[in-house]
């Protein structure tokens, strides 16, 4: 069985942002259920702060950001926070970095760099220098344990960057064929940079809509994934996986405010290709395909933000297979 991570998002969930102890309790349940890692995304929340709370409440499970957005913090501030989390966790922390979504950042008053991939390279290398004690102007202490730096990647170009400079890559939402191509890109870039390809960890995340009622699971998937057709990065990701007609139909419907048509454009073939949908046994079969395509850990990204209990139910459902 491929090792599983569980993503705990407080983005868009005020009850979790206001109750870090609840985030920690959910992480403990994932640890007790046999998950290998808990990961925290970022969007209106502070993923490093959540990881700090999780580190205090757990003992064995790996902890990581998935991803911390580089425009939210200066490198020295990010490094200092990461060192604190690593010390509290006893060496269990992984720092995942990414560039976020331009429309969301601009709405927050943040102006992303013209080429965010260049900025991501600079940011990641700065952190590595700080962690190695090579950046003297700011007195950020060296961590007692190495802090692996991973890059969130949707494109071949960013996957190549991860292979060149990072300790790992966090890939997301694609077909096994697309994943196989991205993994090959990472490995080849690592080798070309004089690195051991096996030293670059491959984590792969999939939106997950588990439930014994397949029709209801498809409906939840459509409600959740329609947002992705409005975000340029994710819409292009859908297109790269061979669903241009569906992505453009959903985008057009969304722009005219027709949510029903926007959801209807997301076919079952698309949902089965870009998400884990239906009974957990069915999801497990799909996970095996991604193991064969090169994933070393699969991140279960809950397709719900309704309640903490739903997150717990998902943990328990997959925990039976761990």
Maximum average pLDDT range among 32-46, 160-174, 296-310: 160-174
Q: What is the 3-state secondary structure (H, E, C) of the chain?
A: CCCEEEECCCCCCHHHHCCHHHHHHHHHHHHHHCCCEEEECCCCCCHHHHHHHHHHHCCCCEEEECCEEHHHCCHHHHHHHHHHHHHHHCCCEEEEEECCCHHHHHHCCCCCCCCHHHHHHHHHHHHHHHHCCCCCCCCCCCCCCCCCEEEEECCHHHHHHHHHHCCEEEEECCCHHHHHHHHHHHHHHHHHCCCCHHHCEEEEEEEEEECCCHHHHHHHHHHHHHHHHCCHHHHHHHHHCCCHHHHHHHHHHHHCCCHHHHHHCCCHHHHHHHCEEECHHHHHHHHHHHHHCCCCEEEEEECCCCCHHHHHHHHHHHHCCC
Using one digit for the tens of pLDDT, what is the confidence trace for 266-310?
999 999 999 999 999 999 999 999 999 999 999 999 987 668 888
pLDDT at 227 over 80: yes
pLDDT at residue 305, as a whole number: 62
Superfamily of domain 4-211+279-319: Luciferase-like domain (3.20.20.30)
Name the pLDDT band for 138 (thresholds 50, 70, 90): low
User: What's the pTM value of the predicted model, to 2 decimals?
Assistant: 0.94
Residue 56 has pLDDT above 70, yes or no: yes
Query: Once rounded to an integer, what is the mean pLDDT over residues 24-44?
Result: 95
Residue extents of the structural domains in the chain: 4-211+279-319, 213-273
């Amino acid at each position: 069985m491929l090792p599983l991570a569980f993503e705990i998002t407080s983005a868009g969930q005020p009850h979790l942002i206001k109750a870090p102890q609840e985030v920690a309790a959910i992480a403990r349940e994932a640890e007790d259920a046999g998950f290998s890692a808990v990961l925290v995304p970022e969007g209106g929340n502070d993923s490093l702060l959540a990881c700090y709370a999780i580190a205090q409440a757990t003992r064995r499970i790996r902890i990581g950001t998935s991803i911390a957005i580089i425009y939210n913090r200066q490198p020295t501030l990010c490094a200092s926070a990461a060192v604190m989390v690593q010390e509290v966790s006893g060496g269990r922390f992984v720092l995942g970095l990414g560039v976020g979504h331009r429309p969301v950042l601009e709405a927050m008053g943040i102006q992303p760099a013209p080429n965010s991939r260049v900025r991501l390279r600079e940011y990641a290398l700065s952190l590595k220098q700080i962690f190695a004690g090579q950046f003297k102007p700011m007195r950020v202490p060296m961590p007692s344990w190495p802090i692996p730096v991973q890059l969130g990647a949707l494109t071949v170009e960013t996957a190549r960057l991860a292979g060149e400079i990072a300790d790992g890559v966090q890939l997301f939402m694609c077909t096994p064929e697309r994943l196989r191509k991205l993994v090959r890109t990472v490995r080849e870039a690592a080798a070309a940079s004089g690195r051991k390809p096996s030293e670059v960890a491959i984590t792969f995340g999939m939106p997950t809509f588990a439930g014994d009622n397949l029709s209801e699971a498809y409906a939840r998937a459509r409600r959740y994934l329609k947002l992705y057709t409005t975000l340029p990065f994710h819409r292009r990701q859908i297109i790269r996986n061979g669903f241009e007609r569906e992505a453009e139909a959903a985008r057009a419907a969304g722009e005219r405010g027709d949510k029903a048509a926007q959801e209807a454009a997301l076919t079952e073939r698309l949902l089965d290709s870009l998400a884990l949908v239906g009974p957990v046994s069915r999801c497990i079969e799909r996970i095996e395909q991604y193991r064969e395509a090169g994933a070393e850990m699969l991140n279960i990204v809950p397709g719900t933000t309704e309640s903490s209990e739903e997150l717990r139910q998902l943990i328990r459902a997959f925990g039976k297979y761990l």
